[in-house]
Structure 1
Amino acid sequence: MTETAPKADTTTRTAERALTLLSVVCEKGSVTLGEAAKAADLSASTALRLLRTLESTNFVRRDDDGSYRPGATVVQLGVLALSQESLVALCRDPMTRIVEQTGESAYLSVPAPGRQGLYIAIVEGTHSVRHANWVGRKFPVESSASGSALQGEVGDHGYCVVSDGVERDVTAIATPIRVGERIVGALSVVVPSYRITPQNIDSIGRLLLIETHSLYN
């Protein structure tokens, strides 16, 4: 037992340092290597080694400018810590209002590892022809409205529109759910493409903006 204690102590210290670094990144939102090392009271080489480990497991992500931000795994764990049920409960009334005003199905999605998103809740539309339930389904962020919203790629209007993305003959409009500067989810409306017009795209987009803005403001 005495021979393994030093190794156990080293492992514990490494875990503590990694968690301290992760806490620094999460608290600051965006941090350079030097800032993270200083805040965690670590050498730059130690901080870099630990940040690379955290990056490889999606706990942090490294931007093109070299700064570090919370990764998808942290966001997912944060949602779970608050409980997905809490996020669903928070969004239930806004989603219901969206369906009441549009007649179309409304979805809530959250980030998932591997540049994917995950649908976690739906309020079904009232039309006889409406979209099938996607809850529990993952989707690529590159080819979907919700994926673009989860990445903050919404353009000047504040919402994004994708047709034939996750599924053919379907158009989706989505907006991000922000807590401060962070995106924790997305609300979207999914419409059979034959029923969509430029006018109702804009009205749905504006409605989504109103409802997502009301969540944490």
Structure 2
Amino acid sequence: MKNIVILISGGGSNMAAIVRAAGSGRWAERFGARIAAVISNQPTAGGLSLAATNGIATVAVDHKAFAVRDEFDAALAAAIDVHAPALVVLAGFMRILTPGFVAHFDGRLINIHPSLLPAFPGLRTHQRAIDAGCQVAGVTVHHVTTELDHGPILAQAAVPVLHGDTAATLAERVLAQEHRLYPLAIERWLEIEATASPESA
């Protein structure tokens, strides 16, 4: 079984979209894949309760309990490794990861970012796109590397910037595309893996 571990920090709307897609797309039957766990750095994250109601294992690794980032990342990696993940999915996980953590999950760690990378890495992407006069914004699913928001791109979707858009209105439309694109990108990854290793599917 290919285990997928999802990392969240809040309500987990992207996580919920992935869980729904895993069920409706019959990932277990088609790819031998399942959502094995949802892990958060925020013990009160609403997404943990949502995952639990779907019968998914949940873990909280509170970053505030660690004096330095390396210690938190080591504890987080240990919690993930319990589930022997084929893929680790960052879905609104609001922590910058250390190079050691990224190296540990090299090739198995993906993220979603609310811009058409390489444009607007980092924060405040929607306002920056509006301020720059962009006519198109969007969302990118990419492999995670040690350089923030700069890994190889797996999938992108464009979202028009409309006259009168605010950061909030643009963010709402981009989020709708995130919910569509992230499950599709993961399913595509699973299809490629199944083709490469049919005996493990």
TM-score (norm 1): 0.23
Q: Which structure's relative contact order is higher, taking Cα pairs within 8 Å and 6+ residues apart?
A: 2
Give 1 or 2 for the bigger CA radius of gyration. 1
If each structure's helix is expressed as a fraction of its own residues, which one has the higher value?
1
TM-score (norm 2): 0.24
